[in-house]
C-alpha cells in the first residue's frame, strides 16, 4: 500500500505538468518560488538522498552533481545552489529530469516491493508528504510566473481554482475552556504538530463562511488601502513601498475587476471566496470589519464544525514551537523547526492541496507579506 | 503627587544628559536609534501635543514646526520627518530644546497645579511613562553612537551598566496549571498588558540566574557561531550577512575579550551578566545548552520567585495581542498595537530602566536581530 | 544583394542556435544579458516594427503583444517589458518565435524582391547590422549563463573562442601629428562613427600583440589584485565589493588555472590571448606594466598597422559624441547617442563578431566594470 | 609670503565658520558631503601628516587617533574611518578641533619662519590649495545639510551666493585650429592640469552669458523633465528614480518658484544665473535649446574672452588624463589620478571658490548626477 501511495503521488506530480511547454519548466520568477523542473527534481532528490543512498543495496546515484543542484535548504546534507539561481540552470534538461524521476522510481519500486524497516517506512511517508507539498507549490509558483506574462497564458481551462463558493454561513459558537491542541500521532504528521497540549480558550464565535470577493471589494471601495489605522505598521509600509492596492492577480480593466487565473484572465466572480491576500491584508480587513482573525488554537478547536479546505486561512498566531518541541537529529530536523520566527500560521488547506495531505492539526506558515498562496480570510468575533 | 512625578521624571531626563557635550546631542548612528536632542524634544512634544494643546487654556504652541520635527510615528497627528533623518537637523539647537522643555514644563506645572480630569490625569501618567521609556532609549542609543568612535569616549565613570552579577542560582520549579496573565489595572499599565486572561502552562523549571559572560564565552569557544544547527534559519543568515561572531560591543584585543561600556573600553568581566545579545543569539545559546527560553507567560507566572530587573530577557513569545485587545481611538492607539508582528517579547527590565517603570506584566518588544538593548538570557528546562 | 545579405544574416543567427536545448533559450542570468529566445525575437521585431509596419503594403503584424515584449529600449516606440524580466516570459515558446522569424522573413523577402527606396535600403542595412550585434551578444550572454551551471555544460566543441594566439609582436611607432578620425561614409556605419574630424596625436608606440594569459598571471602573482595603487578608486571598490581576483570564468582547481569556455571547462592556455577583463582590470594591468591603454584615436590611427579583430580592446577613451554628432529623428536616434555617458570605448572586434561587421572606425562601448565581453588589452608606451 | 598665505587661508576657513552653532558642525547629510568639523580637522591633518611629521624637527603629533579619523581617502597613509560615518563622531569636540588647528598652526608658523626646501614649499602650497578646496566644500556641504531642515535656517544674510547676474551677452566666435591646452607651470597647479598639449578644435561659438533661472524655467514649462528624448538614458533613469523635476533647492510654494539659499528661503530671482543642476540636466537643457555644452578644451581655448568664475560650468568632457599624465609617488599621487573614470569635467569656478584658487586651466570633476555644487550651464553652438 505504501508502494501504491508512492506511485500515485509520483504520477500525480507528472500529471500536473501535462499542460506545460518545455519553456514553462525553467524560470524562477521571484526568489520564494521555484521552477517546475526544480520541483520535479528536488522531490526526487529527497527520495534518493534520504532513502536510496542509505537504505538501498548497491544503489548508484544518478548524477553526483544533482546533490548540489537539487538540495533546497538542508545544510546537514552539504553545499547547495543559491536559492535565487534556480531559474538559470538550463541543464539538466526537462527530459533528463524525467529520466532521473524514472530511475529513482524504479529503485524505490524495488525497495518498496520487499519488507522495509519502520525507519524506512517513516521516511517514505515523509517523502510522499513532501512531494505533496511541492505539488501544491508547483501550481502556486506556476500561477505567479504565468501571471507576469502580458500574453496571460492559460495553464489549463479546468484549472481555475478561485471560483469556488461558500457552502454555509452563520457563526459557530465555541465556549471557553481548556482544549487539547496538536496531533495525536495515530497517523502521519509533521514534527511541528506534535506535543499535544492544553490551551485555554475564551468564548468566541467563528464564521462558517470565508470572506468573499464582494466583501473584499467593499473594503477596497471604503478606502481600506488608504487608511493607515486599519493596518499594522509593517503592513502599511509594505503596501506603500510595494504599491499594493488589491489582492495579487487582481486588475481593473475598463472599470471592472478582473483577475488572472490558471484558466487565463477572467472577470472577477463576486460570490467566489477571496484568495491571494497577505496576512497584512487579512488583518486589516478584519480590523475594518470590527472583528479579528482566529488564533491557530481557536481554529483547531472549532475546525470540526467548519467547512474548510478551500483556502489557506491566515490566523493571528505567530509560528512558534509547541511545548516540548524537539528538533530531530539530522537532515529531517531541518524540515520545520528552523523557520519558527517572523512567520504567521495558516490553517486549513487550499484548493491546490492534495486531499490526503489535509488535516485539522496541520500548521502551514509564511511571512506576513506574501500573497501568492491561495490564502483567504475567516473572521472571528468575541461576542455579538 | 502627579505634579511631583512629572517634575522628577523631567529632571531625571536632563540629569542623564549632564555628562554630554553639545556634539553628543546631534547624531543618529543607525535608523532605529535617535539623537539625545530628539529624545529631549520628542518627550516634550508628547506633553504639548497630546495634553497642552487640547486641555490647557489659551495654550500657545512653542514652535509650530516642532510638530513635524518631533512626532515619532503618530500618523493620526500628521506628517512627520523621516525617521532616518533625525541626525541631520542641527536646529533647533540644544539650548533651544532646553528652552522648549522649560516652556512646556511651566505650562504643565500650571495645568497640574489645579484640579484635572481623569482623562488628563491618564494622559499625564502616559506621558511620564513615555518619557521613562525614552530615558532608557537615550542611554541605550547613546552607548551605540559612542561605541562607534575609535576614541572610545566615556559617558560617565559611574555608568558602566554591564558589570552587575547574579544574586542567586539554582532553579525555580513551576507546576503545570492555569495561570492568570496580564495586568490587574489597579495602577498604570500599557494597553498591551490588559486583557487579563488564563493560560495553561506545563511543568517547567526556570533559572534563578541569568547567563553570564563566562557561560557565553564557552558557547563561542565551542564554535557556537559556526554551527548552523543551533540557529534559526533567519538567525544564521543574519550572522553571516552581518558577520556577527560575538555580542554587540565585544572586541578581542591581544587575545583577550574586552567590551565597550559607558565608562569606556574595559576588560570583559566573566562573572557579570551577559548583555547585548539578539534573540537569535539567545535562542541559539539555549539550543546549545539543550534548554530553551521561557515563553512570556511562563516568565510572568514565575516572576514573583525570580530576581529580575537587570536585563531585558528575551522570551520565546512573539509579540501578539492578548485576548480582547482593542486599539484605542486616536493617537494613543498607535502606541503599541500596530507593532504586533515580527517582533519578540522581552520581559523584566534593564539596568537602564527607571525603577518606577518596572513591573512583572510589562511587555517590551523588539525585532529578533537587534542587539543594542541591555538584553540577556534566562534559561528554562522542561525536566531534570 | 541586400536580400542575400538579409537572408544569410538571418540564417546565421539560427545556425548559432543549433546546439541549444529548448531550456537554454529561456533564462536571463543577469540584467545586462538577454535570453537567446529574446535575441531571436527582438531582431525580428526590429524588421517588423521599423520596416514592415511602415513600408510593406497591407502588412499584418504577427502578434500585437510582441511590440511590448520585444522592444528593447526604444521609448519612441512605446511601452516595453522591464529589462530585468526577459527571463520569465515562457511564452511565446521557442517554436512560436521561429514561426515569427519565418513570417517576417517571408514578408521581408517579398519586400526586398522589388525596388525599394533609399530609406528602406538604409533601414534594412541597419537591421542587418543590428542582428549581427545580437549574434555576438547571443554567444556572449549564453556563455555567461552556462558558466554559472555547476555541470559546466558545453555549447559546442568547436566553439572555444578563447584559445587564439598573437601572430605578431614588437611595437608600431606612430608619429605625432594631425590625424583624421571617423568614418568616411562610402559604406554603412553607425551614427556614432560619423563626423570625421582632425585629432592631434602625440608620438606613441603601440603593441602588435595583445596581452596573453601568461602575462596576466604574472600580474596576479605579483599581487596585482591586492595593491590599491594600480587601480582607479572605483575599480578598487568594485573588486573589493564583488570579490574579484581574476578575469571572469577563471577558476583555480587544485592549484592550476582553468577557465570555463563554450567547449566546457579547460586548463588555461598561457599563450592564448587574455579575455574577459573589465576596463578596471585592463587599466590596472597597464599601470602595473608602467604603460597605458591607447586612446580610441590612437587606436584608429594605428589600426592599419595592427593585427586586430580577436578581442574587443579597452581604450582609455570615454564614450562621447564626435564633433557635430546629431541624434537622428525617431527611434533610430535612440540607437547610440543616449548612452554617451559613464561608458568606455572598446575598439577592434571579438572572435564572436561577424567579419562583415568589423571596421576600424567602429566604436563599441560598455561600462567599465563589465567582464562578460571577449575583451582584452593592447598596451601603449610613450617612449622607449 | 608663504607663511602669510598659509595664515590667511587658515583664518579664512575659521571665518567661514563664524555663523555656525556647535550643532551645525556635526552632521553628514549624505555620503558625498562632510561635516564642517571634519573639514576643519582634515585640512589640519593634511599639514600635520604630510609636512610636520616628516619635516618638522621633533614634532609630536597632537593625537595619534586623528590619523584614522581625519584621513579622507589616502590609502598610502593607512586605514581610515568609513566615509559615510563622518557624522557620527561626536568627539573630538569642536573646541578640541580648534585646539588641534591652533597646535598645528603654531608648528607650521615655526617651520615657515625658517628657510625651507623646495619640496616643503611645494607641499605647503599644495596644503593651502587643498584647504581652499575644502573651504568651498564646507559651504557647499553646509547648504545641503541646512536645506533639509524644515526650519530653513539661515547661515548668514550676506551669504546668498545665487543672485548674481550675467555681465555680458552675445557669442564669442572661435576659429578652428590647433590650440595649446594645459598649465604652463610657472605657478602652482594640480597634476591633472599638467601635460600641456595640442588639441585641434573645430569652429564654434560660445555664449558670453550663463543660462539664467528664467531660461531654465522655460525649459521646465515646456515639459523638459517629462520628455525622454532630451535626456541621456542614465539621466532619464536618474530623474525617474530620484523624482527630480527641478534644480536642487527649488520649491514651488503657492504656485511660485522659491529656492533655499544660505540666507534662507527666497523667491527665485529669474534674472540670476542658474545654479545647482546636474550634468544630466545641463545636457538635456542644451539639447532642448538645439545647442550643446562646450568640451573642456573649447572652454579653455575660449576662456580669455569670457566672463567666468561665478558657477562651475559643466562641460561635455569626461574626466580623463592628459597625454603624459603620471601619478606621483606616495600619498599626493592619490590626489587626482585615481578618480579618472565616470566623472565629468567642470570648468571655471563658483561663487564659493577663493579668488586665488581660480585659474582657466583648472579641472574640477564630479559624477554626472550631482546637483549640490554651485553648477551652471554655458552653451555652445556650431554655427549660426
Give the pLDDT confidence of D261-279 residue by residue, as tens digits.
Answer: 999 999 999 999 999 999 9
The three grid cell numbers given for residue C240, joined into one nine-digit string: 573589493
pLDDT digits (tens, 9 = 90+) for B273-328: 999 999 999 999 999 999 999 999 999 999 999 999 999 999 999 999 999 998 88
Helix (H) or strand (E) holding B297: helix B296-302
| pLDDT for C383 beyond 80 | no
- Interatomic CA distance for residues D250 and D257, integer angstroms: 7
Query: What is the structure's pLDDT at C384?
Result: 65
Query: What is the structure's pLDDT at A384?
Result: 64
Report, as an integer, the average pLDDT of B218-233: 97
pLDDT digits (tens, 9 = 90+) for D275-320: 999 999 999 999 999 999 999 999 999 999 999 999 999 999 999 9
Angle at C177 between CA C174 and CA C178, to 5 degrees: 120
Chains that touch B (3 or more CB pairs under 8 A): A, D
A181 φ/ψ angles, rounded to the nearest 5 degrees: -120, 140
* Three-class SS of B52-71: HHHHCCCCCCCCCCHHHHHC
Query: What is the structure's pLDDT at D73?
Result: 84
Residues of B in contact with D23 (CB under 8 A): 22-23, 25-26, 37, 90-91, 93-94
Query: What is the structure's pLDDT at A360?
Result: 97
Look up the pTM and report it: 0.96
pLDDT digits (tens, 9 = 90+) for A203-229: 999 999 999 999 999 999 999 999 999
Report, as an integer, the average pLDDT of B81-110: 96
pLDDT digits (tens, 9 = 90+) for A227-255: 999 999 999 999 999 999 999 999 999 99
Query: What is the structure's pLDDT at C282?
Result: 98
Report, as an integer, the average pLDDT of A76-96: 92
Band the pLDDT of C157: cuts 50, 70, 90.
Answer: confident
Band the pLDDT of B384: cuts 50, 70, 90.
Answer: low
Lowest mean pLDDT among A321-330, B270-279, D357-366: A321-330
In total, the C-beta contacts within 8 angstroms joining chain B to chain D are 91
Percentage of the residues of chain D whose pLDDT score is greater than 90 = 90
Query: What is the structure's pLDDT at B334?
Result: 82
- Closest Cβ–Cβ partner in B75, B76, B233 for A339: B233
Q: Do D279 and C341 touch (CB under 8 A)?
A: yes
| pLDDT for C160 beyond 90 | no
Residues of B in contact with A344 (CB under 8 A): 341
pLDDT digits (tens, 9 = 90+) for D311-357: 999 999 999 999 999 888 888 888 888 999 999 999 999 999 999 99
| pLDDT for B382 beyond 70 | yes
The DSSP output letter for C222 is T
| Dihedral of alpha carbons D158, D163, D167, D173, sign | positive
Give the C-side interface with A, CB within 8 Å.
Answer: 21-27, 29, 37, 65, 68-69, 81, 85, 87-94, 145-146, 148-151, 153
Q: Do B235 and A197 touch (CB under 8 A)?
A: no
- Interatomic CA distance for residues D202 and D287, integer angstroms: 19
The three grid cell numbers given for residue C237, joined into one nine-digit string: 571598490
Report, as an integer, the average pLDDT of D167-181: 97
| pLDDT for D384 beyond 70 | no
C/B touch flag: 3 or more CB pairs below 8 Å: no
pLDDT digits (tens, 9 = 90+) for C38-84: 999 999 999 999 999 999 999 999 999 999 999 988 888 888 888 88
Query: What is the structure's pLDDT at D159?
Result: 84
Q: Do B342 and A342 touch (CB under 8 A)?
A: yes
* Top-confidence residue, C361 or A76: C361
The three grid cell numbers given for residue D232, joined into one nine-digit string: 541621456
Nearest to B31 by CA among B104, B99, B80, B83: B83
Band the pLDDT of D158: cuts 50, 70, 90.
Answer: confident
For residue B333, give the chain A residue with the closest CA: A229
Report, as an integer, the average pLDDT of B228-241: 96
pLDDT digits (tens, 9 = 90+) for B169-208: 999 999 999 999 999 988 999 999 999 999 999 999 999 9
The three grid cell numbers given for residue B99, joined into one nine-digit string: 528652552
Helix (H) or strand (E) holding C380: strand C380-381
**Substitution target from D73, D178, D179, D200 for chain C, most C beta carbons within 10 A:** D200
Band the pLDDT of C331: cuts 50, 70, 90.
Answer: confident
The three grid cell numbers given for residue D183, joined into one nine-digit string: 598649465
Q: Do C229 and D75 touch (CB under 8 A)?
A: yes
How high is the mean pLDDT of chain C?
A: 95
Q: Do D342 and C76 touch (CB under 8 A)?
A: no
- Interatomic CA distance for residues C188 and C125, integer angstroms: 7
- Interatomic CA distance for residues C332 and D229, integer angstroms: 12
- Interatomic CA distance for residues B361 and B195, integer angstroms: 11
Band the pLDDT of A345: cuts 50, 70, 90.
Answer: very high
Using left for φ > 0, alpha for ψ between -120 and 50, and beta otherwise, residue D319 falls in: beta
Q: Which of A156-170, A330-344, D103-117 has the highest mean pLDDT?
A: D103-117
Band the pLDDT of C166: cuts 50, 70, 90.
Answer: very high
- Interatomic CA distance for residues D371 and C254, integer angstroms: 51
- Closest Cβ–Cβ partner in B22, B88, B150 for D22: B22
Residues of A in contact with C24 (CB under 8 A): 90-91
- Closest Cβ–Cβ partner in A27, A68, A148 for C26: A27
| pLDDT for A10 beyond 80 | yes
For residue A76, give the chain B residue with the closest CA: B229
Using left for φ > 0, alpha for ψ between -120 and 50, and beta otherwise, residue D188 falls in: beta
Amino acid at each position: 500500500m505504501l508502494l501504491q501511495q508512492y506511485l500515485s503521488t509520483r504520477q500525480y506530480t507528472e500529471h500536473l505538468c501535462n499542460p506545460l511547454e518545455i519553456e514553462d519548466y525553467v524560470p524562477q520568477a521571484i526568489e520564494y518560488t521555484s521552477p517546475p523542473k526544480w520541483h520535479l527534481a528536488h522531490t526526487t532528490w529527497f527520495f534518493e538522498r534520504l532513502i536510496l543512498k542509505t537504505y538501498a543495496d548497491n544503489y548508484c546515484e544518478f548524477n553526483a552533481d544533482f546533490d548540489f543542484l537539487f538540495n533546497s535548504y538542508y545544510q546537514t546534507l552539504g553545499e547547495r545552489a543559491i536559492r535565487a539561481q534556480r531559474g538559470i540552470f538550463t541543464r539538466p534538461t526537462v527530459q533528463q529530469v524525467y529520466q532521473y524521476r524514472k530511475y529513482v522510481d524504479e529503485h524505490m519500486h524495488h525497495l518498496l516491493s520487499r519488507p522495509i524497516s519502520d525507519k524506512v517506512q517513516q521516511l517514505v511517508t515523509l517523502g510522499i508528504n513532501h512531494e505533496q507539498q511541492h505539488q501544491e507549490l508547483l501550481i502556486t509558483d506556476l500561477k505567479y510566473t504565468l501571471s507576469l506574462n502580458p500574453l496571460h497564458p492559460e495553464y489549463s481551462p479546468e484549472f481555475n481554482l478561485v471560483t469556488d463558493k461558500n457552502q454555509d454561513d452563520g457563526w459557530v459558537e465555541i465556549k471557553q475552556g481548556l482544549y487539547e491542541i496538536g496531533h495525536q500521532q495515530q497517523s502521519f504528521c509533521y514534527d511541528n504538530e506534535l506535543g499535544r497540549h492544553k490551551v485555554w480558550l475564551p468564548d468566541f464565535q467563528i464564521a462558517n463562511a470565508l470572506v468573499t470577493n464582494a466583501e473584499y471589494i467593499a473594503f477596497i471601495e471604503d478606502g481600506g488601502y488608504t487608511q493607515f489605522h486599519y493596518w499594522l505598521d509593517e503592513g502599511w509600509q509594505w503596501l506603500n513601498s510595494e504599491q499594493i492596492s488589491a489582492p495579487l492577480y487582481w486588475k481593473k480593466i475598463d472599470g471592472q475587476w478582473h483577475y488572472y487565473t490558471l484558466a487565463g484572465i477572467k472577470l472577477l466572480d463576486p460570490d467566489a471566496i477571496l484568495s491571494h491576500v497577505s496576512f497584512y491584508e487579512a488583518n486589516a480587513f478584519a480590523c475594518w470589519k470590527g472583528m479579528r482573525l482566529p488564533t491557530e488554537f481557536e481554529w483547531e478547536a472549532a475546525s470540526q464544525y467548519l467547512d474548510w479546505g478551500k483556502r489557506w486561512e491566515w490566523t493571528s498566531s505567530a509560528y512558534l514551537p509547541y511545548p516540548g518541541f524537539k528538533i530531530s537529529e539530522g537532515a529531517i530536523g531541518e524540515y520545520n523547526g528552523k523557520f519558527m520566527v517572523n512567520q504567521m500560521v495558516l490553517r486549513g488547506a487550499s484548493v491546490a492541496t492534495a486531499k490526503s495531505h489535509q488535516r485539522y492539526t496541520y500548521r502551514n506558515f509564511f511571512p506576513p507579506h506574501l500573497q501568492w498562496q491561495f490564502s483567504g480570510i475567516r473572521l472571528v468575533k468575541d461576542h455579538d
